Structure formats: C-alpha cells, structure tokens
Amino acid sequence: MSLGRCLRRGVAAGAAGGVALALALAVLGGAAISEAVELEEAGGGGGGPFSRGVQQVAGVVGAVALGVAVGVVFAVVFAAARHRLPGRDDWRRSLWLAAAAFAAGHLVPALKYPPNPPGVGDPATVGRRTALYVLLIAFSVVATVGAARLNNWLAARGTAAAPRHLLAVGAWLALVAVALAGFPPPPDPVEAPATLVWNFRLTVVGGWLGLWAVTGAVFGWLSLSPAERTGREDADSADTAGTAAEEAGGTSSRSD
C-alpha cells in the first residue's frame, strides 16, 4: 500500500476514534465536567471568556481533531513498524499497535498522573505538571518499543515463545515500575469530592479506550483486502500461512 493511502486511512481511523472520544465526553464525561465547573465557580474560581455551551461544542470538536492528529501519527508509525508488529495480517497488527498505544500513551501516564476534573490543579504548577506528564509518556513509549524489540530480538535468536514473552513483558513491567516509583508525585492536592473525581477518571480512561479501540479497528479494517475481510476466497491458504509464520517466528532468523 502506498504511504499516501496509509495516511488517509490514518485520518479516517483517527476521525472515527475521535468521534468515539467525543461521544464519551458528551454522554459520560460532560456531566462530571459541568458539575466540577459549578463547584469551581461556587468557590470563586473559574469563569472564562466562553459560555459552557460553547465549551461543550468546542470540546467535542477538539476531541475529533485530537483523534485525527493521533490517527496520522498512528498511520506513520504503522507503516514504519509494520514488519515488526505481531499478527499475521494488518487487522491483527493494527489492533496490537492500538493496544500498545493505549497502554503506553495513556494508561501508564494516567497511573502516575491521573486526569482531574476542572477545579483541581494549581495554575502555578501547571508547567511542571505538563512537563512531567509529557516526560512520562515519552518514557513509557520508549519502554514499550524496547520491550517489543527485545521480544523480536529473542525470536531472531530462536528463543521459545514462553520464555521470550515472559522476558519481554517482565522487562516492560520492570521499566514501568521504575518510572512509576521514580517520577515525582503529582504536586497538587485533590480537594474535589472523591466520587466526582473517581467518576471523571473512569470516564476519561473509557474515552481513551474507545478512541484506541475504534482507531485500531477502523485502520485494520481499511487495510484489509475484500477477500481478507470475508475470509471466503483464501481462508485455507491464510490459515496455512498463519501457522507457517507462527512456526517460523520462533525458529528462523529475521532479515532486520
């Protein structure tokens, strides 16, 4: 597939993922945000140049725009890493990459620096919090790529699947644990009601899960040929190829 086509698929998949994030925001997260804004304003804070209505519409537009941008990055990384990704077709590779992106780009950073509703957070520390958050994303992306490379390197050396997976996942967990323990704690106290904060955090994780699931699925689907989608024409040969590839993955050497 040409790179231009791959990028257009990324835009389409990212837009669909962004719609999923926007839907989660509008249906699940909007209430928590509005409640938090009311609390913030009751406490004398908040109050900006835009009405809540404008913010809600722009929030949905912004979520879709975020999805498109993320989809473009996804497509370029997919093109570059396709031959290293697990899975015997582009559907599986796309889902794997999306799952890795969710874990490295959102889940790990959120464990250390969980998302907060409006009203939580001191403006004086936002620069430091943003820097720490971006650094932790960078670290967990590097750790994830490193663990995947370790897995592929061991495969090239002929290591059997079970010890290889244990080593790669173990290395990933060790790196993540070091980062979670080593990065400084979030500096601001969380004084908003615990139920509100908890519900907000759950909906944010759900929103990102939705974004990555939809992006990975749409990108994977668009990357398949019609025959691969239905599995009718070459179901037998695909099965054979898959088995052969799995066997080869553990024993043969790789070109890169």
Partner 1 sequence: MEPTPAIAPRTVPLWAWLVAALALALVYLLAADNGLVLGRAAGVVHELFHDARHFAGVPCH
Q: Report the site for partner 1 in 210-239 (rule: CB under 8 A).
A: none
The binder of partner 1 chosen from 3, 142, 174, 178 (CB under 8 A): 3
Tokens of residue 112, six digits: 């250390």
Could you give the CA distance from residue 256 to residue 253 in angstroms, rounded to a whole number? Answer: 9
Task: Give the tokens for residue 133.
Answer: 């958050």
With CB under 8 A as the contact rule, the residue among 44, 48, 185, 226 that binds partner 1 is: 48
Min dist CB 146 to partner 1, Å, is 14
Q: Which of 19, 23, 31, 82 binds partner 1 (CB under 8 A)?
A: 82
Stretch that binds partner 1, among 86-94, 190-198, 216-224, 229-237 (CB under 8 A): 86-94
DSSP labels, 165-191: HHHHHHHHHHHHHHHHHHSPPP-S---
Contacts for 36 with CB less than 8 Å, ≥ 6 apart: 117, 118, 119, 120, 192, 196, 200
Q: Which of residues 92-151 bind partner 1 (CB under 8 A)?
A: 96, 106, 109-110, 113-123, 126-127, 129-130, 133-134, 148, 151
Per CB under 8 A, 72 contacts partner 1: yes
Q: Is 42 in the site for partner 1 (CB under 8 A)?
A: no
Interface of this chain with partner 1, residues 147 to 176, rule: CB under 8 A: 148, 151-152, 155, 161, 165, 168
Residue 100 tokens read as: 């890795």
> What's the CA gap between 189 and 119, in Å, rounded?
11
- In this complex, which beta carbon is closest to partner 1, that of residue 25 or of residue 175? 25
Tokens, residue 29: 């997260």
Contacting partner 1 (CB under 8 A), which of 12, 19, 31, 65? 65
Give the range of 81-89, 173-181, 214-222, 232-240 binding partner 1 by CB under 8 A. 81-89
- CB burial of residue 151 (10 Å; 0-12, 13-18, 19+): buried
d(CA 6, CA 222): 9
Q: Contact between 62 and partner 1 (CB under 8 A)?
A: yes
Q: Give the Cα separation of 256 and 251 in Å (integer).
A: 15
- The verdict on 195 binding partner 1 (CB under 8 A) reads no
**Count of residues of this chain found to bind partner 1 when the rule CB under 8 A is applied:** 82
Select from 31, 38, 41, 59 the one that contacts partner 1 (CB under 8 A).
59
Interface pick for partner 1 out of 8, 12, 41, 86 (rule CB under 8 A) = 86
Which pair of tokens denotes residue 106? Answer: 């959102």
- Least distance to partner 1, CB of residue 65, Å: 6
